[in-house]
Amino acid sequence: MNSFITSQISIFLLLVLCATTFHNVMCSTNMQLLCNEKDQSALQIFKHGVVNHSKMLPSWSNEEYCCAWQGVHCDNTTGRVTRLDLSATILGR
């Protein structure tokens, strides 16, 4: 009886570990999602058309994923830009 309970607890803990690992992998994949090259290029062209763009859109840099830029929203599956919300920037005032 004791070994049966120990076995059940071990299986339960293994399932919890697997579920946690799967969740972490899926979440980190979405966080590292590369945005579409054409979308990123179009956003850079837009940025350079803005007067004083370094102060207006400081998070928009070539070193970062464009899906992480302020005001840029992407589809979690495709990495395509789906919406711009610049209301929190100086442009939105």
pTM (two decimals): 0.58
Residues 13-34 as b or e (16 or more Cβ within 10 Å = b): eeeeeeeeeeeeeeeeeeeebe
Tens digits of residue pLDDT in 25-65: 555 444 456 788 999 999 999 998 887 777 778 888 877 78
Domains of the chain by residue range: 1-32, 37-92
What is the distance between the alpha carbons of residues 86 and 93, in angstroms, rounded to a whole number? Answer: 9
